Structure 1
Amino acid sequence: MVEVLERHTMVKASIAAWNAVMIQHHELAKEPVIEGWARAGHPLVVRRPGCSDTAGTIPLGLPLPPAHGKRRIAIVLAPREIIEHKPPPLLAEAAAAAPSAWRTTIDRLLELCPETRTFGSLAWEYLTGLPYLSQGSDLDLLWPVSAVRQANTLPSRIAEIAQQAPVRLDGEIVAAAGGVQWRELAGDDDDEVLVKGPTVVHTMTKAAFLGGLLP
């Protein structure tokens, strides 16, 4: 049985597997940054499966930096072709690659939840050293409910920080059932929210989600 990896998990492919992908997708191999991706030690990210993905494989994505067309490349690998997998980086670690204008906001976010993780442009720049960040970049975050003492107040406290931030805060609050866009939980117009799991999307009440219940 194939291990189900959470969305946003960062994985590294074996060089042999990546070479095989380049042979299969020769149009990608024409881009030096893509062709040398695995040799440079750069990661891929786990995405939700698509209809055309082969059963028994792990669906992965590679977003290229703006200078390389900002393309989003989707591939699949067999589990044996993955040599490492780990969660996306902690915000506290990736902060070293962030613009100085974000520093106060990041400090407030870490005070709220030190276990906050980041994905998107900041994570990719931190992990690869390539220029992913631009003036229009969002700060993409994952807040684990399990790390917060008062989960019910987390959405409103994120909203307070977002109001004063020089960058748009995007991302999900993550609980046992999956991830929910934080703004859905901060609003008070709907009791049900859309929960994104590793393979499916479903709905739950806010209270059930923040309480750590499974669907």
Structure 2
Amino acid sequence: MRPELLHWPRHGWVRLGEGWVGHLRSPLASAERAEVADWCAAGRPLVIARRRSEDGAGELRLGLAMPDKRRIGLHVRTEAVTGRLPPLPLAEAVDAAPAVWRPMLTDLARRAQELGTAAAVYGSLAWQQRTGLRYVRPESDIDLLFAPCGRRQLEGLLELLMAVGNDSPRLDGEILLPDGAAVAWRELAGRPARLLVKGATEVGLRDLASVLALFDREEAA
């Protein structure tokens, strides 16, 4: 992974300063520009999205998800950023979840921590916690993010998720690979011969064996 990408992880969050318009790298429609301006003036963050292969150093792709499910994408220089936040820990998002979900999410966060791999969350629950606006609906899934260190942590985590992930709410999300790419945990748990892997700037197929070998090497290091 390019070193600068480590400082701007996908699913992380940023706040933009007053002069963010002057740092746009791609055009933004006037209506969308006005909505982003209002959003930033309220002190709300935007999420870091996947880069594109043509993006240069010092550029970011950001996303604004509105409560009505509309999406606005931004392409800015990093100079527009005045504050950064990491991906949201699940433990910090529990209070923003519907009350009936909270015991399960609290238990999941605890059990993941016991395995040595803390859970983060993105998607509707993360937006709800970060903004105080209503994003979560009764039918919403919970999008989780994990970064297990080594094969044993990975296998323990997948076993845990398979045991609890099909109840309500349904648990979806990604496993971060040691090289910084990501794969859907459900797909990895299914052990297909080929996996759809999301890299920093691209999405492609990899052999299951090569993905698992990354965790084996990390554990042996």
TM-score, normalised via structure 1 length = 0.83
Number of residue pairs aligned between Structure 1 and Structure 2: 204
Contact 1:108 1:161 in 2 (8 A): no
Contact 1:152 1:210 in 2 (8 A): no
The amino acid that maps onto 2:212 is A
- 1:3 corresponding residue in structure 2: 4
Change (3 A) 1:3 1:76: same
Change (3 A) 1:102 1:18: farther
Contact 2:52 2:202 in 1 (8 A): no
Of 144, 156, 159, the residue aligned with 2:162 is 159
1:170 and 2:172 aligned = yes
Paired residues for 1:43-82 under 5 Å: 43-50=45-52, 55-56=56-57, 57-66=59-68, 70-82=69-81
Structure 1 alignment gaps of length 5 or more: none
TM-score, normalised via structure 2 length = 0.81
1:124 and 2:127 aligned = yes
Output the aligned Cα RMSD.
2.6
Provide, for residues 25-66 of structure 1, a one-character-per-residue CA deviation record: whole Å limited to 9, x for no partner.
Answer: 3112454xx332112211111111347x75342111111112
Identity %: 34
Q: Offset of 1:180 from its aligned partner?
A: 0.9
Equivalent-residue separation in structure 1 for 2:33 and 2:13 (angstroms) = 22
1:26 and 2:30 aligned = yes
Task: Report runs of 4+ in structure 1 exceeding 6 Å deviation.
Answer: none
Structure 2 alignment gaps of length 5 or more: none
Change (3 A) 1:149 1:187: closer
